[in-house]
């Protein structure tokens, strides 16, 4: 809640004290996990006969895992990271505004030093490599060795598919952009209505504004945010639909294990799959756009042509090489993630220095998408993650996109009339399937086991490539 407040409500002058508050809470939380009483109770529970209830048995395993991670880290390191991350993030905001990496270089170097210390402490305790130990904090059971071949194969696919899609796009009429202005109050009203239609219950949720859209809060008090532009409603609308996917996952977690490890989300890749199955898979589908177009026309008026479903599809499913990850289409987005995955592995492994990061970024970006960022604001300064200590997180984005395609394909096979319902703006059939197959499962299953139970197989990137081929090349 303090994190949400810092992004949505807190005056800028509160940042320094908020950083201290977060550091103290991080230390207290860590201290509770590593207390001798916790160790004794875990030992006693593990010495008892194995619980026949799989939920309780997995809950105990996850408690031990959290305890192992926590006891591997000294409390002074946990607090030092909280303070360094807060200080670095504050300077990063100014560095990005001025496109000047030198402003934040020394702060990032300190964050990276502490992250390496964290990874080195976690690795032997978890029996993982240092980088995999960081990945484990975001998506358990998935390591670099799992990701490397998936990303390498996708790079091959993209190299062939991207020019083909670009050529197809040149042969069709240019889409018509809706002409604003679009009053912010009207946008906000529309965003709330659409998120409610998808299934978000606002007796347990809030919609606010922040510089970057996110979803936070707790299972019964969910906070989503977006940002509005008077000249373009799409950014806010699609952002809210994305965050609504995250929010629905949180609301659908099993009540019986609320605030227990097994009742938590199954990891960040699974979480991302839930935001993308709503935003990308369902709400940008032909069926849903046929319903959404008239809703937009009714809200904003003016020329109806921009709101025709085919035009919306061309606008919101346009593939284009660009510098900014959060603005990327679903075909080129994985390239942005692949670059970050490779660079952060090199940073953690000591093969890349912070001082050389901008050059390595530009070189890697050109190799993947054939573009060189004009400045560091459109290069290595664009994301908050590293400057807030978030190493090992980026692979979850693309693993989530691939899982979303696989889950949507399975839902279509299992649920008759799914696309017809989406064509009426009705997500209840999809949401019901997700509640049973993903949300209600909590953390009982890991990433691949959850996919296997829901779709009949572990992660299969071919489903994502088939989705992209059908949507953009048919």
Question: Where in the sequence numbering do the catalytic residues fall?
Answer: 243
C-alpha to C-alpha distance for 64 and 303, rounded to whole angstroms: 60
Q: Is 344 left (phi over 0), alpha (psi -120 to 50) or beta?
A: alpha
Beta strands at 215-218 and 221-226: parallel, antiparallel or unpaired:
antiparallel
C-beta of residue 337 within 8 angstroms of C-beta of residue 397:
yes
What phi and psi values does residue 353 have, to the nearest 5 degrees? -90, 155
C-alpha to C-alpha distance for 459 and 457, rounded to whole angstroms: 7
Write the burial class of residue 335 (CB in 10 Å: 0-12 exposed, 13-18 middle, 19+ buried): buried
CA 131 to each of CA 138, 181, 309, 381, 388: distance values in angstroms, whole numbers, following the listed order? 12, 47, 44, 22, 17
């Amino acid at each position: 809640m303090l994190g949400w407040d810092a992004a949505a409500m807190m005056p800028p002058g509160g940042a320094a004290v908020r950083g201290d508050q977060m550091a103290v809470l991080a230390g207290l939380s860590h201290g509770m996990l590593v207390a001798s009483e916790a160790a004794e109770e875990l030992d006693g529970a593990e010495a008892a006969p194995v619980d026949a209830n799989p939920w309780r048995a997995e809950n105990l395993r996850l408690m031990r895992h959290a305890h192992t991670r926590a006891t591997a880290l000294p409390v002074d390191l946990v607090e030092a990271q909280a303070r360094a991350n807060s200080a670095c993030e504050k300077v990063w905001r100014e560095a990005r505004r001025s496109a000047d990496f030198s402003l934040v270089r020394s702060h990032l170097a300190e964050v990276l030093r502490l992250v390496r210390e964290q990874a080195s402490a976690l690795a032997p305790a978890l029996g993982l490599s240092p980088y995999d130990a960081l990945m484990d904090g975001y998506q358990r059971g998935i390591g670099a060795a799992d990701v490397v071949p998936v990303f390498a194969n996708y790079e091959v696919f993209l190299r062939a598919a991207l020019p083909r899609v670009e050529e197809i796009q040149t042969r069709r009429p240019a889409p018509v952009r809706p002409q604003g202005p679009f009053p912010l109050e009207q946008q906000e009203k529309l965003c709330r209505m659409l998120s409610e239609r998808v299934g978000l219950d606002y007796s347990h949720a809030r919609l606010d504004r922040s510089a970057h859209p996110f979803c936070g809060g707790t299972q019964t008090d969910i906070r989503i945010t977006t940002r509005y532009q008077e000249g373009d409603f799409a950014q806010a609308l699609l952002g809210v639909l994305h965050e609504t996917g995250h929010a629905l996952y949180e609301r659908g977690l099993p009540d019986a294990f609320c605030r227990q490890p097994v009742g938590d989300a199954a990891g960040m890749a699974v979480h991302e799959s839930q935001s993308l199955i709503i935003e990308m898979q369902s709400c940008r589908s032909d069926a849903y756009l046929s319903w959404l177009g008239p809703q937009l026309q009714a809200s904003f008026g003016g020329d109806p042509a921009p709101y025709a479903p085919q035009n919306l599809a061309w606008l919101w499913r346009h593939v284009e090489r660009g510098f900014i990850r959060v603005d990327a289409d679903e075909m080129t987005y994985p390239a942005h993630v692949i670059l970050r995955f490779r660079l952060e592995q090199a940073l953690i492994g000591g093969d890349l220095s912070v001082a050389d990061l901008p050059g390595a970024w530009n070189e890697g970006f050109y190799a993947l998408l054939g573009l060189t960022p004009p400045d560091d604001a459109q290069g290595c300064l664009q994301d908050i993650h590293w400057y807030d200590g978030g190493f090992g997180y980026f692979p979850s984005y693309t693993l989530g996109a691939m899982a979303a395609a696989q889950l949507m394909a399975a839902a279509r096979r299992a649920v008759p009339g799914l696309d017809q319902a989406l064509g009426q703006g009705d997500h209840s059939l999809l949401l019901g399937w997700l509640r049973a197959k993903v949300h209600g499962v909590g953390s009982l299953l890991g990433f691949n086991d959850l996919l296997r139970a829901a779709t009949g197989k572990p992660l299969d990137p071919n489903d994502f490539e088939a989705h992209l081929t059908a949507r953009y090349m048919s």
